Amino acid sequence: MIVIGEKINGFIPKTLAAIESRDENYIKEIAAAQDQNGADFIDICAGVATEIELETMEWLIDLVQGATSKPLCLDSSSPAILLETMKMVSKPGVLNSVSLEEEDGLSKCDVIFPAIAGTGWKVVALTVDTTGIPESSEDKAAAAGKMIDQAASFGIEQDRLFIDLVVTTLATKQDSLQNFTDAIKIVHAKYPEVHFTSGLSNISYGMPFRKSINTQFLALAMQAGMDSAIMDPLSSDMQATLYATNALLGRDEYCMEYLQAYRDGIFGR
């Protein structure tokens, strides 16, 4: 599993408070902690007003790069912000995200794909288009296919794409998980090298005891083929689910990774 650490995100109240107060120590500590708990990429999302987003992202990038050597996942709804912040990092990471949504006749893919062609940058591709979020597995897969094919036209390999099939909220759509996992299988059959990722908490909005739904979603999505997650690597519950699922799926020889993670206190503490 490729873990994208989600904690440096201005939509999280505690992180937003640190951003607003320019609490450098908190940002550095949370970046280092995610690194130490196995995050492969550190997500950075300012979550602030558009007029100060670029300045805030620059401040965050400087701090995080000083606290960890892990590559960054630059997270913004603005393609322009993503293109500017790319210039600020020391090595290629992930851009979060592109989609088929359009502005002035251009989709986010139209803007980002040419810019990362010939580089080592990876990208999260959301199955969202001008009509919104597709709900059926077939429509999700079709949107994913359009972006994968467009990326290929710029020489962007499948394994540089993290497809986010945008799971819908369980509280409003009972078959949200089934549509998500079925879409993974459809896309994977045609594009075997792409990665699949998701923000785990999206499925549980409006539900009580959300961590139960989130952890079960992680396990079931992994079984269906999801090989990445935008998650909290500091959550013992999430880590326990991740390591246990890998072991149960036969991906952890003699359960050595599970046992080592337990000894290291990553979960079970």
Shared-domain flag, residues 112 and 199: yes
> What is the model's pTM?
0.97
Asked if the structure places residue 268 within a domain, the reply is no
Average pLDDT of the chain?
A: 97
Domains: count for the chain: 2
**pLDDT value of residue 269:** 76
Asked if the structure places residue 64 within a domain, the reply is yes
Shared-domain flag, residues 59 and 163: no
Judged against a pLDDT cut of 90, whether residue 151 lies above it is answered with yes
129 CB-side CA count, 13 A: 12
* Sheet of 228-231, strands arranged across: 195-197, 161-164, 122-126, 94-98, 72-75, 41-45, 2-9, 228-231
Shared-domain flag, residues 118 and 186: yes
Asked if the structure places residue 261 within a domain, the reply is no
Asked if the structure places residue 239 within a domain, the reply is no
Shared-domain flag, residues 109 and 228: yes
pLDDT digits (tens, 9 = 90+) for 93-109: 999 999 999 999 999 99
Q: What range does the domain containing 65 cover?
A: 1-91
Shared-domain flag, residues 83 and 104: no
Shared-domain flag, residues 110 and 69: no
Shared-domain flag, residues 34 and 140: no
Asked if the structure places residue 258 within a domain, the reply is no
Say how many C-beta atoms besides its own lie within 10 A of residue 202's C-beta: 18
Instruction: Provide mean pLDDT across the span 47-53.
Output: 97
Shared-domain flag, residues 214 and 108: yes
Judged against a pLDDT cut of 90, whether residue 31 lies above it is answered with yes
Q: What is the largest CA-CA distance in the chain?
A: 54
Shared-domain flag, residues 66 and 116: no
| Domain endpoint, select from 50, 75, 91 | 91
Report CA dihedral (177, 179, 182, 183) to the nearest 10 degrees: -120
Instruction: Provide mean pLDDT across the span 132-151.
Output: 97
**pLDDT value of residue 88:** 97
Asked if the structure places residue 266 within a domain, the reply is no
**pLDDT value of residue 119:** 97
**pLDDT value of residue 256:** 98
Shared-domain flag, residues 104 and 226: yes
Asked if the structure places residue 246 within a domain, the reply is no
| Domain endpoint, select from 43, 73, 91 | 91
Judged against a pLDDT cut of 90, whether residue 181 lies above it is answered with yes
Q: How far is CA 233 from CA 7, 20, 67, 101, 194, in A?
A: 8, 24, 16, 30, 23
Shared-domain flag, residues 213 and 196: yes
Shared-domain flag, residues 119 and 77: no
Judged against a pLDDT cut of 80, whether residue 160 lies above it is answered with yes
CATH classification at residue 178: 3.20.20.20
Asked if the structure places residue 252 within a domain, the reply is no
